[in-house]
A and B are shown apart, each in its own frame.
Chain A
Amino acid sequence: MKTVPPVNLLAALFAALLASASASAEVSVEAFEIEGLISPASPKALTAELEAALEVRVVDLNLKNTESGWPVLSVEFDSGKVSADDIAKAISGIEDPAGHKYQVHTGPPVSNAEYSDEEIAAMAKLGPPPPAIVPLTNPNQPTAESIAQGKILFDGYCTTCHGLDGGGQGPAAHGITTFPRQLWVWNNAPESADGYLFWFITNGRNEMPPWGVILSESERWDVINYIKTLEKP
């Protein structure tokens, strides 16, 4: 019979333990919506402190284009050692350099409670709520001709307040209580913005006149095509 030296026996036992541990380790990736990411220093602070607090690895932090609009933090962890609740607790214990606490967001994307009976009665008596803006599709393709036509109309009607570059600093802007919008924010705006822009140009608001009574529908769409080409000065 062959005897195994004690040192080899220990090594074999250790290897077996390691193998069983790796077999039971289940790596999971969970996404958390994060509240409190408020400054450019926030993502770094959150990632570093979370990885220091728990045995986890931050895989991704998506700040943009998330479904709900909230930043999404993807965390990889061993579900045998750490749970999603542990991670949520650790996140709420971290403070960013500006002094805000982070938190995992739960509930609807934006909190806007239902109107109370008192508010509904008041709105019925003193003016309706703002009208719903209907999603629309621009029938005028953003061709060079449409954009050129939009520019002519924009220069003629809009620059007085919005300025030639759309920066909201036209010659009449200093006399307006609501500062004219900086239109270059709509640069390359998606189609989903069309209904909103069309509604505003057509109906106006505050000091902005309702251009629907002056410009034809096609002209308003040309202006929208041009606005989407304005670039930040």
Chain B
Amino acid sequence: MAKIKPPRMKIDRKITPDKIFKVKVRFEHPSFTGLGQVDTETMPAFNRAVPVSFMRNMLVYYGDDLVSRFSMTSAIADSPLFAFKLKATKEAPVKVVFVDNAGERWETSKDVKFS
């Protein structure tokens, strides 16, 4: 199973007040439904194969405010890249928190500074 690496975030270099800026977050985390196809004779052809593993929630904070929640299932890709836009309303950190189905938590953040 793939290794988990801490999430990384990139934001636009030039951020203007009250304008939109882009945030990209990459998190190397495996995603697996836990199902395997062992018996090909009968339907349904899947059985539990390994423990399920996926990111359950992604929470986006801008300053102290929770601005978005991504609710995910085991259908999410391995090591996904998330890209979304925020309106630059203040100079404050953007923080992204991930929680997986085992309850483990990771976070990454970047400071928003107006240019």
CB contact list, B18-64 vs A, under 8 A:
34, 36-40, 42-44, 47-52, 56-57, 59
Q: A113-B103, A187-B43 are in contact. Are A36 and B49 (CB under 8 A)?
A: yes
Which residue from B34, B37, B43, B59 sits with its C-beta under 8 Å from A122?
A: B59
The answer, yes or no, to whether B105 is at the interface (CB within 8 Å) is yes
B44 to A185, Cβ gap below 8 A? Answer: yes
From DSSP, what is the main secondary structure of chain A's interface residues?
loop
The answer, yes or no, to whether A50 is at the interface (CB within 8 Å) is no
Min C-beta distance of B33 to chain A, whole Å = 11
The answer, yes or no, to whether A233 is at the interface (CB within 8 Å) is no
A110 to B105, Cβ gap below 8 A? Answer: no
A126 to B61 CA separation, bound complex (whole angstroms)? 12
A127 to B38, Cβ gap below 8 A? Answer: no
CB contact list, A178-194 vs B, under 8 A:
185, 187
B52 to A123, Cβ gap below 8 A? Answer: no
A42 to B41 CA separation, bound complex (whole angstroms)? 15
A118 to B101, Cβ gap below 8 A? Answer: no
The answer, yes or no, to whether B9 is at the interface (CB within 8 Å) is no
The answer, yes or no, to whether B89 is at the interface (CB within 8 Å) is no
The answer, yes or no, to whether A119 is at the interface (CB within 8 Å) is yes
Residues of A within 8 A of B57 (CB): 119, 122
Min C-beta distance of B34 to chain A, whole Å = 7
A35 to B50, Cβ gap below 8 A? Answer: yes
The answer, yes or no, to whether B88 is at the interface (CB within 8 Å) is no
The answer, yes or no, to whether A125 is at the interface (CB within 8 Å) is yes
A40 to B39 CA separation, bound complex (whole angstroms)? 6
Residues of B within 8 A of A118 (CB): 59, 97, 99, 105
Min C-beta distance of B60 to chain A, whole Å = 10
Chain A 29-52 interface 0/1 with B at a Cβ cutoff of 8 Å (1 = within): 000000111111011000000000
Number of interface residues of A (CB under 8 A): 35
A69 to B69, Cβ gap below 8 A? Answer: no
Among A42, A64, A100, A109, find the residue whose CB has the most chain B CB atoms closer than 10 A. Answer: A64
The answer, yes or no, to whether A70 is at the interface (CB within 8 Å) is yes
Residue of A nearest to B50 (CB): A35
A100 to B38, Cβ gap below 8 A? Answer: no
Chain A 87-107 interface 0/1 with B at a Cβ cutoff of 8 Å (1 = within): 000000000000010000100
Which residue from B48, B52, B71 sits with its C-beta under 8 Å from A71?
A: B48
Query: Can you list 16 A-B pairs with a CB-CB distance of less than 8 A?
Result: A35-B51, A36-B50, A37-B38, A38-B50, A39-B36, A40-B39, A42-B36, A42-B38, A63-B38, A100-B50, A111-B101, A112-B101, A113-B103, A119-B99, A125-B69, A185-B43
A contact set with B: CB distance below 8 Å: 35-40, 42-43, 63-64, 68-71, 100, 105, 109-114, 116, 118-119, 121-123, 125-127, 129, 185, 187, 232
B contact set with A: CB distance below 8 Å: 34, 36-40, 42-44, 47-52, 56-57, 59, 66, 68-69, 71, 97, 99, 101-103, 105
List the 6 closest pairs (A to B, CB-CB), nearest first.
Answer: A113-B103, A38-B36, A126-B69, A38-B49, A69-B48, A63-B39
